[in-house]
Chains A and B, each alone.
Chain A
Amino acid sequence: MSDQFQGIEPMVYQSQINVPYSWWAGDTATRFFVTLRDEKKITATKCGDCGKVLLPPRKICPRCFTENMEWVNVSDEGTLLTFAVARRPFAAIPADKKVPVIWGLIQLDGADTALLHYLDGVRPEEVSIGMRVRAVYAEARKGTIRDISHFKPVK
């Protein structure tokens, strides 16, 4: 510890800001989460102008700026585009996850964008870009992105 505070008495006020939030998902995201929770299906929206299939689903195509979107089902299998491994715990990692924690960006078959999620059931040294993975659904589903428990390698 340095001696930079020697001889002075700095007043420091410990505090925290309490701002509770209620973020409305909106009708589009709600439809995705209800389908995921009740039917264990992963859905996306396809732009009628450019044909891109967007996941998370969008009400508006960000490139074409149109609401000409239709719902499509995408596969719960896909390809790992890239990944990261956390070796040390930090606050953003949910309490039920133990390090090492692996995150992957997964492009599901039928989608043009990737989904961020956890990889599990695999050791970090076994993970490789391009590997095929499949969604494992949570037993108790509450309508959140963690209704997908994680992705695991396709054997």
Chain B
Amino acid sequence: MAKRVAIVGTGQTFHKSHRPDVNGQELIHEAVARALSDADLKLKDIDAIVIGNMDHFEGINYVDCWSVDGSGGTMKPIIKLTTGGTTGCTVAIGGYHLVASGMFDRVLIIGWEKNSESDTTGAITTAFDPIWDRLVFAGAISGLAAEAQAYMARYGATDRDGARVSVRDRKHAMNNPHAQLRKEVSLEEVLASPMLADPIHLLDVCPRSDGACAVIMASEEVAEKICPTPDWIWGTAARHSYSYLGDADYGRLTSMREGSQELWKKAGIKEPRKELDVIEMYQPYSFGGLIWIEDMGLVGPGEAPRYIWDGNTDMGGELPINPSGGVISCNPIGATGLIRCAEAAMQVMGKAEGRQVPDVNFAFSSGFGGCWWTDMILHGKKKPA
């Protein structure tokens, strides 16, 4: 039987477009030192470390070893997990497995990226099949554009609906000192920003960021001794597919639908829209904020634009989404999924400061990657049964 597991500390860098003042190890150390401080633990208290990024963004293939100066991994059990864009959420799920197994009581989980060090599209291209997809690959933003086009054609949504999501996230980022982009934009400004790939404007998508995040998970035996109100992990789900780009159902995120249904079943959640209190979603572009909340079952197919326009997902609304400003405001890719996890944990622990949603019982965080993968975590204030 798996042990119950809780998050007892989090830390992250102040994410920026470039961090020329530090190398990768030093960037990682900033997040690790803050997480240890948050949990009031020392490095000697940590039993194992899980770390991840996307190798090609920095051209370092043995990050687990290379980063020990910053991670604290010298002569400790350390493994690297990497699953593309989902990496940050995958490392959290991997850390959860290590603690739930009973083999480790306190595990340090790290996601990081220095996206300033490489050509993002060049590196992302290496994730795709070299024989079939790579020779005709149109880039990451074009892949997202194909999803948005299919969704709009199916349900009659418009680029204004997408822009409304971007306005929300960019406004929320004003409350988060760790976010890279902190500038409110209007609907008109989003729609007037340069068109990258129809219907995606520049202000509909995420930036490239340098940043790191660290999370400490602990077993039920020690969690409440470390932190009186820890963030309990109620469930995790991971759904990865992809052989070739044409295999997906464009306009629907099947991995989100199947994974979230698994989570709701595990936790006994009947109406996620009413039972969840806050969501931190790996949503790298605005239209994902429409399509994917339908796949989560918050609202029915085609109903997301109305739900968003009515302000339900704004701060103070029925179910605030991305109080941190989300991925549109900041995207150090290998860290991004773990930042979502940390932000959700902070909401449950009551440590989210200026972006705190009141009385959070259940929080949801996710990772998204490559070709329509989704990893996700359900966080809760109460100890799971």
What residue in chain B is nearest A58 (Cβ atoms)? B69
Which of A17-25, A36-44, A117-125, A135-143 forms contacts with chain B? Answer: A17-25
Residues of B near A20 (CB, < 8 A) are 118-119, 122
Is A23 touching B117 in the complex (CB atoms < 8 A)? yes
> Bound complex: CA of A144 vs CA of B26, how far in Å?
19
- B114: nearest chain-A partner, CB-CB: A24
- A to B CB contacts below 8 Å, 15 in the list: A17-B126, A18-B119, A19-B56, A19-B118, A19-B126, A20-B122, A23-B58, A24-B18, A24-B21, A26-B20, A26-B23, A27-B21, A60-B25, A62-B74, A65-B72
Which residues 224-280 of B have a CB within 8 angstroms of A?
none
Minimal beta-carbon separation of B78 from chain A (angstroms): 12
Asked if A27 and B72 make an inter-chain contact with CB atoms under 8 angstroms apart, the answer reads no
Chain B interface (Cβ < 8 Å from any Cβ of A) = 18-23, 25-26, 29, 43, 56, 58-59, 68-70, 72, 74, 114, 116-119, 122-123, 125-126, 130-131, 134-135
- Report A59 CB to chain B, min CB distance, Å: 5
Complex: A19 Cα to B58 Cα, angstroms: 10
* Chain B residue contacts of A59, Cβ below 8 A: 22, 26, 29, 69
Contacting residues of chain A (47-77) with chain B, CB-CB under 8 angstroms? 58-60, 62-63, 65
Given known A21-B58, A59-B29, A60-B29, contact A26–B118 (CB-CB < 8 A): no
Q: CB within 8 A of A22: which of B72, B116, B122?
A: B116
CB nearest to A24 among chain B residues: B20
Min Cβ gap B228→A in Å is 26
**B23:A15 contact, CB within 8 angstroms:** no
Q: Which residues of A contact B69 (CB under 8 A)?
A: 58-60, 62
Contacts A13-B130, A65-B43, A65-B72; A26 near B56 (Cβ below 8 A): no
Task: Report the bound CA distance from A25 to B23 in whole Å.
Answer: 5
